[in-house]
Structure 1
Amino acid sequence: MRIVHVIRSLNPGHGGPPAVAIRLAAAQAALGHHVSIVSSSDVPRDTITRAAAGVPGLDRLSLILTQGTAGPFDRLLHAGFRSALARALPGASFTHLHGVWDRELIIAADESRSARVPYALTPHGMLDPWSLWGQSRLKALKKSLALRLIFRPMLRRAAFLHALNADEARLMQPLRLGPPVEIIPNGVFREEVDSPPHTPEFAASRPEIGPDGYVLFLSRLHFKKGLDLLVEAFSRIAPARPGISLVIAGPEDGAGRSARDIADRLGLSGRVVFTGPLYGRDKLAALAGAACFCLPSRQEGFSVAIIEAMACRTPVLISDQCHFPEAKDAGAGLIVPCDAEVVASGLEKLLAMPDDQRRAMGERGRDLVLASYVWDRVAERMTRAYELALRPKPEPDRAE
């Protein structure tokens, strides 16, 4: 099968969607499919490939990147992007769009239809109520108008919409978009987590981390990730645990300065460690060495960082808005509402556990991930969804 993935940007600083698009495409390529990714990338190719270093199957992918050497008129018309699609779409079996609010996706949908190539679309959580309406009134109005006037036709013409979990599928239902919804999760590569770094490695490289270890936040530094809630929660447990640090790892996306200000105001500046983004072995070392992983998000589609932490045998504390009840069901972590006081109680509960109890939680989490959330199986399920969408639809019965 020839598969073309389309995403506006593969900038690793944009968080989950670029990482997921590359990993899904690489997993499909590893299964023997011919897979391309078309992106109007806003970062150099080396930045993308360094962040994805070690991803199995990456060398089998065709990365078609259009980067800004054209003039403003050509950029307005997306001439380079259209040219890239013209190279990728002939002979394609299926197109897979990632995201919602990008002009490039409308172009890719239109070009796919012109080439008689069906397409699927993964919103990556962008169509749930918090993403649509849960921010400022102005943003909610803009998205409401954009959905109604510009993006709804693209969504309605998809062969199917791809939800990352049952909650996302349920939360999209009131939009009445029309296409069927396939529920397929994200994953990890077994090869990346089979031999995670030795657990003290990360802390040993960061002398500012306290002697009793650290709580790890690893995600974009964005308001929706609940970083402000986590810093406030940490301030509630910090006095009784002077040897514990809070490590905040991830690219800046608008909330980093605020988190630093909160830490300073609460007298935590020496206890909160900002590392910037971590990739590859550095990321796995941070995950494997943490006392626990915490993500108190206000909204998530499907956080790969959660299952990466679990695959590294690290207990997790996540919000109910992460839509991953499987962590609690497996006995691999705790799920709490988006409330600083409750997050603090959850942190204290995990940190107070005996080491053998936390290790057992970590083992249960790893078992769950390797049984249900690995990329080769995800890629197989997605490819079967493409094949099902390609089957001729039965003709409706007609009255004699």
Structure 2
Amino acid sequence: MRVIQVVGSIDNKAAGPSYSVTGLAEALCARGVDAEIFSTSVSKSGDERGNSRVFSTDFSNIPGVRRLLFSKSLAAAIEVGAAAGAVLHAHGLWLMPNIYPGTSALRHRCPLVTSPRGMLGKEALQFSARKKQMFWMLAQRRVLMRSDCLHATSMEECEAIWARGILRPVAIVPNGVDIPPDHENARHSKRSDAAGESRTVLYLGRLHAKKGVDTLLQAWAKLQSEFPAWRLRIVGPLEGPQHLELRKLAGMLRLDRVTFENALFGDDKQDAYREAELFVLPTLNENFGMVIAEALASGTPIVTTKGAPWQGVVDNACGWWVDHGADSIAGSMASAMMLPRPELRRMGSRGRAWMSRDFSWTKVAANMEQVYKWTLGEAERPESVVLPGEAN
């Protein structure tokens, strides 16, 4: 079986698909599936890296149009794969690489799976709403309706898909997460129990308006005087106007012990998770929330909002899942920050065990492989696939 994963770009290491799409492809390959990634880049042409092929974009000198990532070479490669009977799996919406698989799948009658990646959520649709409405009418809706199956990482995302009138089968399969090795030894080497040692609350992710970092700053304003031993790290790409607005808000609120730091990757990101005693994601909307899984895999307890599908942090006693708002977030953070370090570590250990049990890439790849086989007519409908009207 050959599966072509199509995504606009995996260049931005801070973006979720750069992690989740590559992780899925690698895990499928480990199971013997011929899985490739087709993506675009404005800076590369014809680049091949393992199971990934990168295609150059067209119209790169036309502002606005270039953002849609037109690529004749990508479209042609998808055509060849579709003609040979590959399963096409498109990731994301609102770009031409998200449209090409639908066109090829219809022409060659090969299976098409589409992962909206949270882009049909109510809050996500409010950003650049007019452009998305136009793209929806011109092309995006037809592609989704042509899909043999859509892929959602949570039941909440599945319901968002159906709410848009896309009444197609949906496979509910979470993203996988890497479990860091030598967890406990690495954690204790990064953290001190000495009296007076600074303790850390971490936010790590994009500084997008939907992430609710402004609400986190408002919550910190309510806590900073009560918890002088704690500091707040805001880690994310320092680009565009959003981080400047957040810095301005921090100044207006007269916040102490708050740092804004550029995005971290690899070992540096892992160290940030390990050094933190609490991770906070005050998001308005997430289809999954990859940073939550990463923090839990690193043994760090969580405070997040009901905009993220993570009630499991309560069920598994490794965090707080609360309404969005400065008061509720501050209250949960205070509950966490008052706990002794050993108790926070026990919570973190429970979260790590949960990630190892239910979110391993091996398990995720096995579930997705069954979905692909079903779309090919080679297997019965997997338990992960739900039909409109079946969900409670």
| TM-score scaled by length of structure 2 | 0.86
Equivalent residue, structure 1, for 2:17: 17
Matches within 5 A, 1:233-382: 233-252=219-238, 254-268=241-255, 271-382=257-368
**Match for 2:252: what amino acid?**
R
Change in Cα spacing, 1:247 to 1:201, as seen in structure 2 (3 Å) is farther
Whether the aligned pair in 2 keeps the contact of 1:293 and 1:309 (CA below 8 Å) is yes
Q: CA deviation at 1:84?
A: 3.5
Whether the aligned pair in 2 keeps the contact of 1:248 and 1:274 (CA below 8 Å) is yes
d(CA) in 2 for partners of 1:351 and 1:17? 32
Whether the aligned pair in 2 keeps the contact of 1:202 and 1:286 (CA below 8 Å) is no
**Match for 1:78: what amino acid?**
S
Deviations 1:13-68 (CA, angstroms, capped at 9, x unpaired): 551122211111111111111111111124569xx99xxxxxxxxx7x42110135
**Match for 1:29: what amino acid?**
C
d(CA) in 1 for partners of 2:330 and 2:61? 50
Equivalent residue, structure 1, for 2:91: 98
Change in Cα spacing, 1:67 to 1:145, as seen in structure 2 (3 Å) is closer
Q: Secondary structure at the match of 1:182?
A: strand
d(CA) in 2 for partners of 1:336 and 1:222? 20
Whether the aligned pair in 1 keeps the contact of 2:58 and 2:71 (CA below 8 Å) is no
d(CA) in 1 for partners of 2:225 and 2:371? 52
Q: CA deviation at 1:172?
A: 2.1
Change in Cα spacing, 1:93 to 1:87, as seen in structure 2 (3 Å) is closer
Percent identity of paired positions between Structure 1 and Structure 2: 29
Equivalent residue, structure 2, for 1:160: 149
Change in Cα spacing, 1:172 to 1:37, as seen in structure 2 (3 Å) is same
Q: CA deviation at 1:79?
A: 1.9
**Match for 1:91: what amino acid?**
A
Whether the aligned pair in 1 keeps the contact of 2:178 and 2:297 (CA below 8 Å) is no
d(CA) in 2 for partners of 1:176 and 1:82? 27
Equivalent residue, structure 2, for 1:39: 39
Q: CA deviation at 1:193?
A: 4.5
Deviations 1:163-206 (CA, angstroms, capped at 9, x unpaired): 1101111222222213201100011123x3454772366679xx
**Which structure has greater helix proportion?**
1
Q: Secondary structure at the match of 1:109?
A: helix
Whether the aligned pair in 1 keeps the contact of 2:223 and 2:334 (CA below 8 Å) is yes
Change in Cα spacing, 1:264 to 1:71, as seen in structure 2 (3 Å) is closer
| TM-score scaled by length of structure 1 | 0.85
d(CA) in 1 for partners of 2:321 and 2:33? 38
Q: 1:198 aligns with which of 186, 189, 193?
A: 186
Q: Secondary structure at the match of 1:199?
A: helix
Change in Cα spacing, 1:111 to 1:339, as seen in structure 2 (3 Å) is same
Q: Kindly indicate whether residue 132 of structure 2 is the aligned counterpart of residue 143 of structure 1.
A: yes
**Match for 1:115: what amino acid?**
H
Equivalent residue, structure 1, for 2:384: none
Equivalent residue, structure 2, for 1:26: 26
Whether the aligned pair in 2 keeps the contact of 1:40 and 1:67 (CA below 8 Å) is yes
Change in Cα spacing, 1:341 to 1:44, as seen in structure 2 (3 Å) is farther
Whether the aligned pair in 1 keeps the contact of 2:299 and 2:351 (CA below 8 Å) is yes
d(CA) in 1 for partners of 2:76 and 2:133? 31
d(CA) in 1 for partners of 2:150 and 2:378? 18
User: What 5-or-longer segments of structure 1 have no aligned partner?
Assistant: 50-58, 205-209, 395-400
Q: CA deviation at 1:392?
A: 7.3
Q: Secondary structure at the match of 1:321?
A: coil
User: What 5-or-longer segments of structure 2 have no aligned partner?
Assistant: 381-392
Q: CA deviation at 1:78?
A: 2.3
Equivalent residue, structure 1, for 2:201: 215
Equivalent residue, structure 2, for 1:6: 6
d(CA) in 1 for partners of 2:199 and 2:225? 15
Pairwise CA RMSD of aligned residues?
2.8
Change in Cα spacing, 1:157 to 1:64, as seen in structure 2 (3 Å) is same
Change in Cα spacing, 1:84 to 1:203, as seen in structure 2 (3 Å) is farther
d(CA) in 1 for partners of 2:379 and 2:79? 28
Q: Kindly indicate whether residue 119 of structure 2 is the aligned counterpart of residue 129 of structure 1.
A: no
Question: Which shows bigger deviation, 172-181 or 309-318?
Answer: 172-181
Change in Cα spacing, 1:375 to 1:96, as seen in structure 2 (3 Å) is same
Whether the aligned pair in 2 keeps the contact of 1:297 and 1:319 (CA below 8 Å) is yes
